[in-house]
Amino acid sequence: MSERQLHRENQSMSMMYGTYADILFVLFPFLVIGMQRLWDGRLYETLMNADLSIAAAILAGLAIGKFVLGLVTNRDLGRYKERIVFFIALTLFVVLGPAIILMLSIAGGAEVPGFVAFVQPVLLIIAISLYSTAVSISNILTRDSERESNTANIEGDSPDIARASRVGHAPLDLPRHTGADSW
């Protein structure tokens, strides 16, 4: 295995551990609530309360943030922009919308139908999958952006522009203050 492949594999493993650490931190309070309900003998209530929908909505929001980050990181995405917008719409339509509707319906005080015990875990699983996908897409696009900046540096761009694009940001061009303007 070459050094480059080893570096790429280590980077992928770090990304995976970071992604699942994010997911675990989001799910931790809900785990504590579930364990308390298990202790009290009311674990089924976890499935019938809005807890899992709240967790799904949080992860869906984080996924949308990662998709948007991937969308704005590289201006030269071309054909990928539509795919990223599709994933944003999919996250809104499949997870965030139903999770919010379930939260509002459960909080409304009416009797909660039995299918909610099935739908909420499914929403959570889909939200976890979409968040993992969003992190992967965002990192792939950032990595592609870094690769392009390294190529641009080899072709003779200024070191400041290459360094700025390696970080994933365009250089900030601020107008100079001439002193002639007064407040």
> Does a structural domain hold residue 138?
yes
> Does a structural domain hold residue 159?
yes
Helix axes 3-39 and 116-154, enclosed angle (nearest 10): 160
> Does a structural domain hold residue 70?
yes
| pLDDT score, position 151 | 54
> Does a structural domain hold residue 135?
yes
Q: Where are the alpha helices (DSSP H) in 40-158?
A: 44-48, 51-73, 80-91, 97-107, 116-154
> Does a structural domain hold residue 38?
yes
- Could you give the number of structural domains in the chain? 1
> Does a structural domain hold residue 153?
yes
> Does a structural domain hold residue 140?
yes
Domain of 94, in residue numbers:
3-167
Percent of the chain with pLDDT over 70: 73
* Residue (of 3, 6, 2) closest to 14 by Cα position: 6
pTM for this prediction: 0.72
For residue 180, what are the CA distances in angstroms to 40, 174, 183?
A: 72, 16, 10
> Does a structural domain hold residue 179?
no
Interatomic CA distance for residues 99 and 50, integer angstroms: 9
pLDDT tens by residue, 24-78: 999 999 999 989 998 998 888 888 889 999 999 999 999 998 888 877 776 666 6
